[in-house]
């Protein structure tokens, strides 16, 4: 099973793009923080990719600093820099579970409450677009 559930704060405003086939793709980062035994805080940054209608809703209502809870799957990728160096990427991809927390807990008027435009029990698509489909 490949499942990730995180709750944290957006580190930057969402960036919305569309694939060549018209599927919405929204990217942003989320910071999660935990306290160690010595009282120190440790922050981890997560790269998030939201697909479909929830991507459009997330781009409209989320902003830097906003608290969010999301569930998705870990996706590993790789790319080569202009200098020829291979880099690894790890992202959390989700189609249907993004909960807005904190102020304005749900997107006003979207009709679906906290699930970013897709009802919680909606089935996930059979196939996730490949990382090559992302226009950024």
Is residue 17 packed enough to be buried (19+ CB in 10 Å), middle (13-18) or exposed (0-12)?
middle
Give the contacts of 25 (CB within 8 A, at least 6 positions apart).
16, 17, 18, 19, 49, 50, 51, 55, 133, 134, 135
Q: What percent of the chain has pLDDT over 90?
A: 62
Q: What is the mean pLDDT of residues 49-62?
A: 94
- pLDDT of 36 reads 82
CA 31, CA 34: separation in Å to the nearest integer? 10
Q: What percent of the chain has pLDDT over 70?
A: 75
Q: What is the mean pLDDT of residues 78-105?
A: 86
Q: Which residue would you say has higher pLDDT here, 5 or 125? A: 5
- pLDDT of 103 reads 60
List the chain domain ranges.
4-122
pTM of the model as a whole? 0.71
CA 56, CA 122: separation in Å to the nearest integer? 17
Query: Which pLDDT band, with edges at 50, 70 and 90, does 98 fall under?
Result: confident
Q: Which CATH architecture has domain 4-122?
A: Beta Barrel (2.40)
Reported as a single tens digit per residue, the pLDDT across 5-55 is 999 999 999 999 999 999 999 999 999 998 888 889 999 999 999 999 999
């Amino acid at each position: 099973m490949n499942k990730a559930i995180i709750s944290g704060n957006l580190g930057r405003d969402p960036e919305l793009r569309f694939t060549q086939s018209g599927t919405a793709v929204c990217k942003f980062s989320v910071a999660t923080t935990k306290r160690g035994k010595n009282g120190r805080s440790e922050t981890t940054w997560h790269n998030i990719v939201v697909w479909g209608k929830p991507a459009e809703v997330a781009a409209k209502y989320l902003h830097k600093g906003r608290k969010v809870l999301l569930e998705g799957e870990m996706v590993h990728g790789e790319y080569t820099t202009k200098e020829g160096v291979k880099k690894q990427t790890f992202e959390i991809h989700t189609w249907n579970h993004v909960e807005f927390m904190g102020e304005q807990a749900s997107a006003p008027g979207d009709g679906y409450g906290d699930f970013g435009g897709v009802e919680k029990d909606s089935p996930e698509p059979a196939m996730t677009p490949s990382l090559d489909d992302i226009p950024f």
